[in-house]
Amino acid sequence: MTESHLEIERKYDAAADFTLPDLSGLPGVEGVRDAASVRLHAAYFDTADLRLAARGITLRRRRGGEDAGWHLKLPAPAGRLEVRAPLGRARSVPGRLASLVAAYTRGAPLRQVAALDTDRRTTLLLDADGAPLAEVADDAVVGTVLDAEAVTTRWREVEVELVNGPPKLLAAAGRRLRKAGARESSASSKLARLLDGRIERRGGVPKAEAKGRCVGDVVVARLSAQVDALLRHDPAARRGEDDAVHQMRVAARRARAVLRAYAPLFERERVRPIGDELRWLGGVLGEVRDLEVLRARLTKRVGELAQADPAAEPVAAERVAAERVAAVPSWLDDLARQERAAYRRMNAALGGLRYFALLDALDALVAEPPLTARARRPADEEFPGLLDRSRRRLVREHDVLTGDPEDVETARHDVRKAAKRVRYAAETAVPVLGADAERAMRDAKAVQTALGEHRDALITMRRIEEIAAAVRDPAEAFALGRIHEVERRAADASLTRFAAAWNA
């Protein structure tokens, strides 16, 4: 069993004779209490070439203290996501934690690479009710790198971690510590400090935003950002966290769209296989995402039906609403089971060699992009023509749609895909073209969104029809009919929005 929480903290370097200042009077702090000192021993695990450390990830097994066990710390926008597991075996990383870093290890074994022994004195900053707002840990650390030389390093540091306190408390505590002589640490973790100089930093290329840069640099920077996003959302997607699969799928789609929209900048035969594999990955993630959307949509519709007829007597209306809410349709449970099965298939694919090979190919693409001579031209000169290339395709697909095609639904889907490509191509060009690209991005997004909503409504209607064919309860069949009608109206409304977006 694993658990997780978001870790928001700041670290400070301190001299051996540093004295922790009085921390009372900080924002919201009504009391200060010293906790018992504790000795901690942590064994850190990584691949032989330190792939986790290169991405700012730490995986450790720690003994001592209240949170003894396995800790996996992953970078997150507001801090670091810490996932925990029980102590278990000393040299065997829990399978669940190992799977969460599989996109980084890619089949390479995890082994112990370092050890840290810490003497910790903890000070709790409390609110008026005695509840902790933050913890201040004063650590004397002895770290050993377990390589051929077995180098040992000693240092002292102070960590301030929010518990329930506001961000301003973190900043105020930092000011108090710096005034007392501490210095904000440049290392993201104790392990990063210990391994400094041994880590081959990874995680993208420098941002290319200046108009003077060549177009290839800007596009590769955009690709690099999508590769980073893909990796960042991978652990959360495996855990089934809210919106994580969607965000991971969007990163894969953006990367593929950039490769296709800016194809003249790349050697075609080198990037085509990567585009094909990104499409495969989008399909793997799409099965889960489509079921998530469908189940959420139908759950919402069932909830709307649970609202009693406003014309009914109040008492009767409340009773009917309660009965409807209590009776969750069996077909909705079936959808949940299908979603869980899709998650299992997704996690199997994300643990396979095909996915790892794609990630290796993306890393290589960003590190040594196979660019053509055109990619070396100035970005501000090349982007307008390249963006127009995607726009022209969108217009062609729209012409097909308005030309009475045999399969209208497929034609609409092709317009949606072309609009998405324009949107993502324009996003890439925004740092160079500014307002013009932003306008193209907004217009394309409006078209894509309207047609996406139309497609979602049609898919939901078809699923309702499949479910209704197997339903024997007249009341349930009637309810499904009402939901079907709501979706039909939603489909019609989305087409109206599409027409307005196209003609805007």
The DSSP string of 369-385 is: --B-GGGGSBHHHHHHH
- Tens of pLDDT, residue by residue over 57-73, are 999 999 998 889 999 99
The conformational region for residue 36 under phi > 0 = left, psi -120 to 50 = alpha, else beta, is: beta
Q: What is the pLDDT of residue 262?
A: 97
Structure tokens at 273: 């296989």
Beta-bridge mates of residue 439: none
pLDDT for 326 equals 41
Does residue 465 contact residue 481 with C-beta atoms inside 8 Å?
A: no
* Nearest residue to 330 (alpha-carbon basis) of 213, 227, 191, 476: 476
Tens of pLDDT, residue by residue over 152-164, are 999 999 999 999 9
Tens digit of pLDDT for each residue in 472-486? 888 888 889 999 999
Strand stretches in 104-241, DSSP E: 111-126, 132-145, 152-162, 183-184
Residue type, 489: R
Q: Which position has the token pair 């075609």?
A: 268
Of 253, 245, 189, the closest CA to residue 227 belongs to 253
Q: How far is it, in rounded angstroms, from Cα 329 to Cα 66? A: 44
The CB density around residue 433, as the number of other CB atoms within 10 Å, is: 19
Token pair 């670290």 is found at: 11
What are the structure tokens assigned to 362, written together? Answer: 């993306």
Q: What's the pLDDT tens digit per position in 268-316?
A: 999 999 999 999 999 999 999 999 999 999 999 988 887 744 444 444 4
> pLDDT grade, residue 1 (50/70/90)?
low
pLDDT for residue 324 is more than 90: no
pLDDT at 492 exceeding the cut of 70 = yes
Categorize the per-residue pLDDT at 322 as very low, low, confident or very high, splitting at 50, 70 and 90: very low
Q: How far is it, in rounded angstroms, from Cα 40 to Cα 312?
A: 65
Per-residue pLDDT tens for 410-420?
999 999 999 99
Residue 149, pLDDT > 90, answer: no
Distance CA 137, CA 132 (A): 13
Position 212 scores a pLDDT of 54
Tell me how far apart the alpha carbons of residues 415 and 502 are, in angstroms, rounded to a whole number. 11
Mean pLDDT of 424-432: 96
Among residues 275, 467, 246, which one has the least CA distance to residue 346?
246
Mean pLDDT value of segment 488-498: 97
Is pTM, for the whole model, over 0.95? no
Distance CA 221, CA 206 (A): 7
Sign of CA dihedral 312, 313, 319, 322: positive
Question: pLDDT tens digit string along 330-386?
Answer: 889 999 999 999 999 999 999 999 999 999 999 999 999 999 999 999 999 999 999
d(CA 411, CA 394): 11
Q: Which domains does the chain have, with CATH numbers?
A: 3-195 (2.40.320.10), 215-288+344-503 (1.40.20.10)
Average pLDDT, the chain: 91
Q: pLDDT band for position 456 (50/70/90)?
A: very high
